[in-house]
Structure 1
Amino acid sequence: MRFYTLKQHLLLMALIMPLMFLGLTANAQINLFKSAKKQQKEEDKAARLFIEGEKHMMLEDYEKAYFYFDKAHDLTPESGAVNFKMAEILARANQNEKALEHGQKAIEADPENKYYHLLIAEVYTQQNQPKKAAEILKTLIERSDDNQQYILELASLYLSTQQFEKALEALDEAEEYYGVIEQLSVQKQRIYLKQNNLEAAIKEGEKLIEANPGNSRYVLALVEMLFNNNRTDQALSMVNASLEDYPNQPNLHLAAYTLYKKQEQFTSAQEHLFTAFQSPDLEGEVKAQTFGDIIQKDLKTTERESLLDSLQTLMVKTSPKSAPVFTIMGDRAMQNQQPIKALEYYQQSIALNPQDAKVLQGVISLMFEQGKDFEEIEEYTVIATEEFPKKPEFWFFDGTAKLALKKHEAAESSLTQSLDLNEGANKQLDLMVLGQLGDTYHALDKDEKAFDAYDKVLEISPEDEHVLNNYAYFLSLEKKDLDKALDMSSKLVRRFPDNATYLDTHAWVLFQNKDYQNAEKYMKKALDIEESPSGVMLEHYGDILFHMGNQKEAVNYWQKAVGKSDVSDVLDKKIKDKKYYE
């Protein structure tokens, strides 16, 4: 019975054991599946975070981008792409050590990815370690022909470390890859010149000319190099040889002019100069520059002026739409003391190119000096403020023109803008603006503001004529601070005893002080000096004479004032009643 039981037990165990092992295996598979599922879930989450980071990278929101890449890094710390993106942002923020750390992890994850290596090279460059950066680029270039495009960067790194021979080797390799191109040849020329190897530099120039037949720019570049190294004969031979093949190249004729002039062969020089200027293909700016060089460097003689006259005619004929041509003609007219003609040329220049601040300022200044119509002046000040809204001097000019046109509110706006933009940088400009603002405020019946502006000017510049005159006159009109007004007007007539405007102001201040005898003396002198007295001067003289008891002469001068500018509203009443009215 026991044997049967044991046998039965063994049989039972035999049946159960496979089931137990089956249960264990199934359990292990379940655990493995759970682990894989968890890993996949984390990778999916990391991918979503990476995409979110990329989105913010595209929006240039690098702080948010880094936040998402960092979260992705927590889930997949060995990811090459994630580490690369983190390194890229850190490098942008100049956190180079951290950038290198993540960059190296990216390379460990994918050592064949050239962009990871390029980022490390960039970081080394930022750290001022160009040799390390060069090693990386050199390795990349040696690894694959597809990386030859980085040869120029390698050459640049060698140059920055003064490794000229290695730089030349790199540039030679680049030339094999790209062919003979300007960027490479010019860089090689610079290296050769640093090494005092002029012959090698010349050969590079000759290679460029040979590779680009008919392009005068490369001929001129080599000619300039020869000229600067005292090889004028060689330079001239090269220019003449090029002119035999390409006789219609005006730049070559201009180079020949310079070289022949250097050799004092003036007849040949002028022949080439005229040929160059006769060509419409020679830019007006180049003609103007050459014309200006002659004005500045050649002595003023009859021959020089005759030459300039001829060149000027050619410039206008062949480059009629070139603003620099008319600008330089204006400069010549100014040098010859011909401001009216200069203004005409400058205006033609502005008509072609209103974006020249220097010429605009010249036009406006000359128009003020020549007493041009203020409406015409305003046209140019408006152009100036539109083209150069940040230049305070143009707002000053605009405010001054508008004040003269009695556009007082607009004048106040422009003058205030000038002050705000200047911010005290140009003290003289501030003084002029404040003086004009004082006049503007007075016209707007803002007398306290006007007097405050005048006081600010006189604190810094107590002899300012414009302010002394207007301040004194406006105080006298208000019958306010007459002692102060008299002090200011007295200063002016002592300094300028023959200035009719200042004599008129002083006379009126004396009149308001009831000093009629002296008022008459100064006003009579003003009238004697002034060829065409204003209406206000004539009326004032009549007022003074009336207070001195000379009614007949007073009425006579009031009548002379009729029809003239700036007379009072009561002038007709004075004449009719033969009586003074304020």
Structure 2
Amino acid sequence: MSNYKFPILFLIVFVLGISNIFAQTVKGDVNRPVLSLDDQRKFDYYFYNAMNSKSIEKYGATYDFLQYCMKIDSTNASVLFELGNFFNSIQNKDQAYAYYQRAVGYDSDNFYYNMALASALAERQDYKDAASVYQKLINQNPLKIELYMYLSEVYRLDGDLLNSIQALNDLERTMGMNEKITIQKFKLYSALNDKKKAYAEVQKYIDKYPDDIRYYILLANLYLQEGKNKEAYASLSKAKSIDPEDPYLITSMANYYQTVGDQPKAEAELRAALFSSKTDIDTKIGILSQYIGILQQGQQDLEPAYLLLDSLMVEHPQEAKFNLLYGNLLMLQDRKKEANFQYRVYAESDPTNPVGWEQLLQSTDVDSIDALIDVCKSAIVYLPEEPLFYFYLSVGQYQKKEFKEALKTLEDGIVFAQDNPRLLSEFYGQKGSIYYELKQQDSAFVEFDQSLKYNPQNLGVLNNYSYYLSLAHKDLDRAENMSSITIKAEPTNPTYLDTYGWILFMQGAYTTAKIYLENAVKYSEEKEKEISAEVLEHYGDVLYMMDDKENAVIYWERAKEKGSESKTLDQKIKTKTFIAPNSLK
């Protein structure tokens, strides 16, 4: 996801400030203008403010200051790079690429500019050009191991598998043997149909660690994937001679028999361990869990796992851990209703264990508020000091608009959350939302402040708090700062984009606001397939301010069709004029 992707760069730029500019000037690029002393001072001032705004995550101001810099010197690589980062953060990949390309053009040896350009080239599927950039960086920085991985990957994506392997070979010479590299080389050799070299990659680990069962099992599983069943069996037999009771070996043997079509032997292999009196319950659950994982990975039918679980539940009727595993298996197939039953059996068999109640919550239909409330109330009876259930009970009550009851539930539960800062943050955030619904704005803001003390990165609270501040025309700079954190974390979230764009709108930064509100519309339609009336109205507002009045009215009308509750919308449509909101929504 593409918020600002370069945290290392950010620290360097922030610490060095405008020194990048001066360093660039010293290079004496022939195509760059020589600034007058006055222009240089203005440029330095604007760039410093741009970086300062970026450091406090005020991206709207960052963009505006960078634009001032561009008017003074449109050839400065530092400015071009930062503009590339900005457009990359809002998913405008074409613009980002154009700026990165220009930045490298004016400062061809800068590591971070080249990294950004290579990433942009790869996203554009210009793999050969991306490979050239990565190779240049490797020549300059031979000890940076991530460069070899990037180079190998772009070669692979371009279909140049030999060079992809060569990049990994170069990496191995730099960092030594590594299992992940070996697996990747095995896949590449297999794609080239060079099986001998593919298996030799794994064999070198067996040669080096002959008593490590993992590599024999790994080799066997790779043989199975290639249909080399005899070789797979030989490798598994060798593993069995080392440790016949290894749970992963047992599941791999079962997988082998299932692959060769011998289901009875597959089940016999598992049953020997699962129904042995020497095998404890937790080990049985571990074996079966691994077997389910193998079936999943191979996209095989899960029916054999269901049959084994049924037998185990008959064998151990009082052992509700199998109900929990059964519920987990059902959840893998999105069979929530059936899973919910199994979780309830587990929860009621061991009611002081929070796991069962938590799984019950997870499998409860999101539209069934009453069921959610019922689970939470039952859990609180047995676990009166578990704060999570108070929190979700308040969520259910909030959804039913039982605000006073929800507030009391939070007050009852918050005393048990004192050693969990993140959960405390959720409690205070939920209290803030309730107070806001009760028209107690000042109390709401106090609770939001308290929430952010415990978790400054609580995105839901940051979004709601900043939006409510904008509606109240209060602390817009702080609102922008809070909202910018949310879009940095989730740059394609339509709700967060709408909030940030609206705050910029309220600040009068219409050009930048339009970028974010336009993306809010775009991602609402792409991701959610449903767009809110609020997003449409806000976009209409910014279009009006950008002197696109005809389209502004179109979006206002679309907002009305969506059932907007805006108190000014009808008047805006009727008069074809923007009317500022004059009351809380």
Q: TM-score range by the shorter chain?
A: 0.3 to 0.5
Point out the structure with the larger helix share: 1
Larger Rg: 1
Structure with the bigger RCO (C-alpha within 8 Å, sep 6+) is: 2
TM-score (structure 1 length as normaliser): 0.46
